[in-house]
């Protein structure tokens, strides 16, 4: 006689599934609350303790970890010795295992003590699922209530499940236990402040959202995680893979700036087109837009203050893909909603957590992991290396540019005032080319670089970049330093009466 083992925390649909199994003359073994629920529904059930001859222990902590249960799942139906042992010991022939786990991932989001959270770590359910999945040629494991209907259909029409279905369900079981354990490991890593990367690791991916396609239409793509807990789409077409990358880049940049000032960031292909800061969002946006009035076409615009009707009118005049704000005032929202395809995204800046890792996939089934670049420069640790000391206004210009260049693709430089970018050159193999591009963009836009600051994400390897910046009008340079030619670079700054600051912090971004 076939047997099903059922023990679930989420009891959605379990009565219906158990009834179908029972009607197919499949015995049911169950535990605790699940057994009570099935008995109340008049479905014949055996308590696990009646099968094992062993009571539940430690307040329910130990109830299914018994040889009689796992042997009944793991034995090979085509091996004579296994069949002999099963018969001699009166072990039930468990053909179905239906389990789901204590909601650990929900518990860690609640205001619970560590001891309370530990009680949400499932042991028995995970072990049952792994045993059943390992023996998928003979056993059906079900860990997701959405699969109940397919299992019921096959049992009713075929008398059992197909090997194809069992393979799929085994994959889901191992995938879920892997994810579940990775969440527990991540919890311990954060709780115990363990910063180093472990020799082996898995990244928990959850809350799957399919995307229309990836960077290009021929590439499949999906979004995982808590993104939609912090970003709410108010209108427009579904977000694309590229939209999400630009949203992430723009929001990261906004978070570099003080919350009390209005800041606007314009991004395209994860590169900043312009950043502005002002007393109002309109003022901030205009400063950002003036940096480069061509590139924002089809880009992403993010602000850190509520979007009002004044800014909405300006944004209505150009084509952008996405507008991001912490709030949309009613009149401004109505104006932007006239552009039906425009994606409007509301973000909760205050609750937005920084990412734990930066992850890149490589050939050879390999991955690169690193911590995100969240370091904040301490102004007191800046080293003045030039003969002339910078003025406070020049330092303010440097600090603005440094916050932006950190989020531009390397090699990158930013010419800036204390409240806006003036020119940006990024994504170049040569640093001097990044300087040339920034200067050419400023000329094209009719922007004077006289008295500006130039910020560099890494050191100037040669004096040529500083020479060009000085000729363009920059009066101060901020850079990490560390080149073998630092002395020559500093001399160049001194020859042009420029102030030069070393941060000793590099901000490469690839």
Tens of pLDDT, residue by residue over 4-43, are 999 999 999 999 999 999 999 999 999 888 999 999 999 9
- Quick one: 427 and 321 in the same domain? no
Pick the more confident residue, 365 or 455. Answer: 455
CATH number, domain with residue 249? 3.40.140.20
Whether 297 maps to a domain, the answer reads yes
- Quick one: 467 and 385 in the same domain? yes
Q: The tokens of 64 are what?
A: 């299914």
- Quick one: 32 and 123 in the same domain? yes
Exposed e or buried b per residue across 402-418, where buried means at least 16 C-beta atoms within 10 angstroms of its C-beta: bbbbbbbbbbbbbbbbb
Question: What is the rounded average pLDDT of the residues 367-377?
Answer: 85
Q: Catalytic residue positions?
A: 134, 269
Q: The tokens of 190 are what?
A: 């954060």
pLDDT at 60 over 70: no
pLDDT at 62 over 80: no
Tens of pLDDT, residue by residue over 246-274, are 999 999 999 999 889 999 999 999 999 99
Q: How confident is the model at residue 232 (pLDDT cuts 50, 70, 90)?
A: very high
Q: Could you tell me which residues come within 8 angstroms of residue 91 by beta carbon, excluding any fewer than 6 positions away? A: 68, 71, 72, 75, 85
What is the pLDDT of the chain when averaged over all its residues?
91
Domain that includes residue 304, residue range: 235-348
Exposed e or buried b per residue across 191-229, where buried means at least 16 C-beta atoms within 10 angstroms of its C-beta: eeeeeeeeeeeeebeeeeeebeeeeeeeeebeeeeeeee
Instruction: Give the Cα separation of 426 and 410 in Å (integer).
Output: 6
The answer to whether 349 and 254 are in contact (CB under 8 A) is yes
Whether 72 maps to a domain, the answer reads yes
pLDDT at 57 over 70: no
Whether 334 maps to a domain, the answer reads yes
Q: The tokens of 270 are what?
A: 């994860």
Question: What is the rounded average pLDDT of the residues 279-283?
Answer: 96
pLDDT at 427 over 80: yes
> What pTM value is reported for the model?
0.80
Tens of pLDDT, residue by residue over 387-426, are 999 999 999 999 999 999 999 999 999 999 999 999 999 9
CATH number, domain with residue 12? 3.40.50.1380
Question: What is the rounded average pLDDT of the residues 374-389?
Answer: 88
Question: What is the rounded average pLDDT of the residues 475-499?
Answer: 96
Residue keyed to tokens 């009035």: 293
- Quick one: 114 and 261 in the same domain? no
Q: Report CA-CA distances (Å) from 192 to 88, 246, 271, 458.
A: 48, 33, 36, 34
Exposed e or buried b per residue across 151-171, where buried means at least 16 C-beta atoms within 10 angstroms of its C-beta: bbebbeeeebbeeebbeebbe
Question: What is the rounded average pLDDT of the residues 218-237?
Answer: 93
The answer to whether 28 and 43 are in contact (CB under 8 A) is yes
Instruction: Give the Cα separation of 328 and 342 in Å (integer).
Output: 14
Give the total number of structural domains in the chain.
Answer: 3
pLDDT at 54 over 80: no
Instruction: Give the Cα separation of 422 and 391 in Å (integer).
Output: 19
Q: How confident is the model at residue 123 (pLDDT cuts 50, 70, 90)?
A: confident
Whether 201 maps to a domain, the answer reads no
Instruction: Give the Cα separation of 230 and 354 in Å (integer).
Output: 12
The answer to whether 112 and 173 are in contact (CB under 8 A) is no
pLDDT at 449 over 80: yes
CA dihedral 54, 56, 62, 66 (to 10 degrees): 20
Question: What is the rounded average pLDDT of the residues 148-154?
Answer: 95
Whether 24 maps to a domain, the answer reads yes
Among the listed ranges 90-94, 286-290, 320-324, which one has the minimum average pLDDT value?
90-94
Question: Domain boundary residue among 326, 348, 370?
Answer: 348
Q: What percent of the chain has pLDDT over 90?
A: 70
pLDDT at 197 over 80: no
């Amino acid at each position: 006689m076939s047997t099903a083992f059922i023990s679930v925390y989420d009891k959605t649909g379990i009565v219906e599934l158990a009834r179908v199994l029972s009607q197919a003359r499949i015995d049911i073994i169950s535990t605790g609350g699940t057994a009570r629920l099935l008995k109340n529904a008049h479905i014949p059930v055996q308590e696990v303790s009646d099968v094992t001859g062993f009571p539940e222990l430690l307040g329910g902590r130990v109830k299914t970890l018994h040889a009689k249960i796992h042997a009944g799942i793991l034995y090979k139906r085509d091996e004579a010795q296994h069949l002999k042992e099963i018969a001699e010991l009166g072990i039930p022939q468990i053909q179905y295992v239906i389990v789901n786990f204590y909601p650990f991932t929900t518990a860690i989001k609640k205001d619970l003590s560590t001891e309370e959270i530990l009680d949400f770590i499932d042991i028995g359910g995970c072990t049952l699922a792994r045993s059943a999945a390992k023996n998928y040629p003979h056993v059906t494991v079900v860990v997701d209530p959405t699969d109940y209907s397919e299992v019921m259909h096959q049992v009713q029409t075929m008398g059992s499940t197909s090997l194809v279905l069992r393979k799929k369900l085994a994959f889901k079981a191992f995938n879920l236990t892997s994810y579940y354990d990775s969440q527990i490991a991540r919890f311990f890593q954060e709780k115990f402040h363990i910063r180093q990367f472990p020799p082996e690791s898995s990244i928990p991916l959850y809350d799957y959202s399919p995307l229309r396609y990836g960077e290009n239409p021929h590439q499949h793509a999906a979004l995982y995680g808590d993104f939609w807990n912090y970003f709410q789409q108010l209108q427009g077409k579904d977000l694309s893979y590229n939209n999400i990358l630009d949203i992430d880049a723009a929001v990261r940049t906004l978070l570099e700036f003080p919350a009390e000032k209005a800041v606007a960031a314009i991004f395209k292909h994860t590169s900043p087109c312009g950043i502005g800061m002002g007393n109002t969002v309109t003022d901030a946006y205009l400063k950002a837009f003036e940096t480069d009035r061509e590139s924002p076409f089809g880009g992403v615009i993010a602000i850190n203050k509520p979007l009002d009707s004044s800014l909405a009118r300006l944004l209505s005049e150009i084509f952008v893909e996405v507008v991001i704000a912490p709030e949309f005032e009613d009149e401004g929202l109505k104006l932007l909603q006239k552009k039906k395809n425009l994606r409007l995204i509301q973000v909760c800046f205050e609750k937005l957590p920084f990412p734990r890792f930066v992850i890149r996939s490589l050939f050879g089934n390999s991955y690169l992991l690193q911590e995100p670049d969240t370091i904040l420069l301490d102004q007191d640790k800046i080293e003045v290396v030039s003969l002339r000391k910078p003025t406070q206004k020049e330092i303010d210009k440097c600090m603005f540019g440094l916050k932006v260049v950190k989020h531009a693709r390397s090699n990158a430089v930013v010419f800036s005032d204390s409240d806006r970018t003036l020119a940006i050159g990024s994504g170049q193999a040569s640093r001097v080319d990044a300087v040339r591009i920034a200067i050419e963009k400023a000329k094209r836009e009719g922007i004077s670089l006289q008295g500006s600051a130039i910020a560099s994400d890494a050191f100037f390897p040669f004096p040529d970049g500083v020479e060009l910046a000085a000729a363009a009008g920059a009066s101060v340079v901020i850079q990490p330093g560390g080149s073998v030619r630092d002395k020559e670079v500093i001399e160049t700054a001194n020859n042009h009466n420029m102030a030069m600051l070393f941060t000793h912090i590099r901000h490469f971004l690839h």
